[in-house]
Each structure stands twice: as C-alpha cells, then as structure tokens.
Copies of this chain bind each other. A is one copy, B any other.
C-alpha cells in the first residue's frame, strides 16, 4: 500500500519538478509518460522515478504505455496540497519581502500571502499588491487575527531571532526562513530554511573544484 511507503525529504523536493514537467507535457497534448522518458528529460534514474511516483499515485503504470499524465498531475497536486489554500504572511518587507508580495507564482502552490509586517513608517498601513503592511510593533496583537499558517521571514539577520520569537508567540507554527542564520525556537515549530549563502557555497564549490 502507498500509505506504508514513507516519503523522504529528497522525494518531496522532486515532486514539484515532476509536476511542472508533466503539466508542460500535458499542455503539448501528451497523454502517457514512461519512466525512461522522464529519466531522459529530468536526469533522475528510472528506478528512482518509479519509486517516487508509486508513493504518491494510487494508479499503476502499464508496460509499454507507462502512466497516464492526467492522473499523475492530479495525484501530485493532491499530495502537494496545491488545491487547498494556505495563508501566509511576510515578516520584513525589504527588497526580498516586497518581491514575494508582488510574486504571482505562489498562488499556483496554494499559497496565499495576506499581508506583511515591517517597521518602516513609509509603508506601514499602505498596501503592496493589495496586501496590507502592518507595524511590526503590533505583531503579537494583529497576527493572531489574520488566520495565517506560515510566516515567511525576510528580516535583517540582526533582528531575526527576536522577531521569530514574536512570531511564535503570535501562535504561528511554521516559519519559512530566508534569513541566513540558525533560528533557535521551540521544538514544535516547523522551520524550513532557504539559505542563499549555503546554496551559493555549493555552487562555488562545484565551479572551483
């Protein structure tokens, strides 16, 4: 049974890549897909692809034809939760935070950004892309009223730990952290780090030997 297959972190990271790829194929009128073809196009091994797709799809593949693309797309969207809307808030409306407020692509992932918090009086109480900016001083009063599940942290490093604690005190259980520091938070808080310094270090290492 699929339920018994544990999903690994690298697998989860690959699912959006499959989904994007299959959606592209479907738009070109393709109906079926095989693991050798995916392997050739995405560079993953055939065995890995079969295992990945078995975990999230109820359907079975058929020799010769492979799997039906429309079924896979539906299963991937269900697994990734793209059909259920999740509200998020931007904490720190600097360059990156603004880019996220303006970005249209998050909606595709079921992510709905409802607003932002900042300490810049020039933007507080204004709107960016129809999303209101609140004063970060009032975060512990306002945030609990906003029905938000995920806080997207894009504040300067120096204040990130302090602000993260306030976010947690406001009842948020998940932090998508774009600040390149380690956050020290209670064990029940889910943190996903996007550390550009780490990513760049890996790129540089590959490039320079």
Contacts and interface: CB of A to CB of B under 8 A. Distances in A.
A142 interface: no
Contacts of A103: 95-96
A109 interface: yes
Chain A interface mostly helix, strand, loop or mixed?
Answer: helix
Given A13-B199, A43-B184, A190-B203, 10 more contacts: A13-B195, A15-B198, A16-B195, A20-B182, A21-B181, A99-B99, A109-B197, A109-B200, A173-B207, A174-B206
A20 B195 CA distance: 12
A120 B207 CA distance: 31
Contacts of A41: 182, 184
A150 B16 contact: no
Number of copies: 2
A105 to B, nearest CB: 8
A204 interface: yes
Given A99-B95, A99-B96, A17 B182 contact: yes
